[in-house]
Structure 1
Amino acid sequence: MFFSASAVSAQGSPAARGGGEQTANGLLARQADGSYGPVAYNADKAPFGLRANNWLSLKGPNLSGRWLGQTGANAQHFASFDDPAYAIRAFIDLVRQYQDSYKARSAADILGRYSPAGDCSGAPSASPAERREGGGCPENQATPPVSAVRAARAVGLGPTDNLDLFGPDGRIRHPDRLRALIDAVATQELGPGACPQPPRGETWIGCRVDDGLYNRAVELLDRRG
């Protein structure tokens, strides 16, 4: 896995490159100089999250249902999407449901529900060799609160502060905070092979969804399948 500095398209399936190499359209990883460049990966060895356009490790709604744009699911119910914009749209919709139904407003509350204690953060993107015997959680990736701290710190808040993401009408109120949440989850779920993991105390996030892809996801938000 390496991080390319070439331009990236923000639409459609992963862009094909030579020798089985592809680009994760709309996903940018932090470079050594602090800039962000597209993620390139080997299609034959890529983790599930990249291959399935599901950087956030979403499962189907109620496990048996399907999100808009979902094309299938693996044996663990992690969804595959036609386009990563649909996965991001589904995540935003889910976070909005958490606020409406459970009053989950902080990064800690939202991600505690999205990836509860005992769940395996990063699990669907770990290769079989990285999993514990028996197919359990990958080592050192079963700490969902890490994403909450990263997301909140990136926008100058604490993990238990109210992110105030949506207004009473359901419209996005603070897109910068919502995007930090999306980016932090993608960084955690895709893992260090795709997204640099920031050291404790840093305010940067390893991967970002680019503007075009985020905007397309928002446009899809209130569309029904």
Structure 2
Amino acid sequence: MPTLPAGHSARSHAAPTLQAVFWDMDGTLVDTEPYWIAAEKDLTAAYGIEWTEAQAEAMVGQALEFSAGMLRNAGVPLAVREIIDRLIGQVTEQVRLAVPWRPGARELLAELRQADIPCAMVTMSEPVLAREIVRALPAGTFDVVVTGDMVSAGKPDPEPYQLAFDTMAAALPGLEKTGIVAVEDSLPGAASAQAAGLPTLGVPNFVPLPAGTVRHEWDTLAGRGIRDLLLLLSGPVPEPAR
């Protein structure tokens, strides 16, 4: 996975108060939710099981083990690992054919890279899919990548975002959570980032965020830039989970 380039410093970029941006992947960087839902429907249909929109929505942003458990509860007669492999294999094949970028995501990533503001990807997907997204972007776009297999507890637990912070902080002296913006589209993801103590921006996609989930919410990343992210860092941030 990508590592921090030599000489990177938490204060050596154009906007010193914005030290880093942590990105969710599915639904935030890329609109892969339709790919996941299609894979779920194909899997359940193979066993004569009806899969509803409500069930699909309940899986958005969840750890893959949680999603596989839901499919097993619905009647899919496969082990959790088999279900995950079937889903992620189908989604990865679709991404290889066409990466469905969310509006404004690549443009904002490019601006952050130009300004030398490091980014982390924090996803509950596994490396095989995360690598496809990383490869589709310019080298060095992400300084840290955390995938679902790297943590013992997935979103909404704070562990994924805490691991991303700890990894980046080890290479960037002076990195503070108050200087980071986490970008999420789902309730589990926003809960994870906020429980880790990070200022969190909600950009909902497939499922609306319940009112009050995050302090800051945008309809889209299109047309947004570093100046907009800086404005999010004023005011109180959530206390980390204890």
Q: Say whether the fold is shared (TM-score over 0.5).
A: no
Provide the TM-score with structure 2 as the length reference.
0.28
Provide the TM-score with structure 1 as the length reference.
0.29
Structure holding more helix per residue: 2
RCO higher in structure (CA 8 A, sep ≥6): 2
Q: Greater CA radius of gyration, 1 or 2?
A: 2
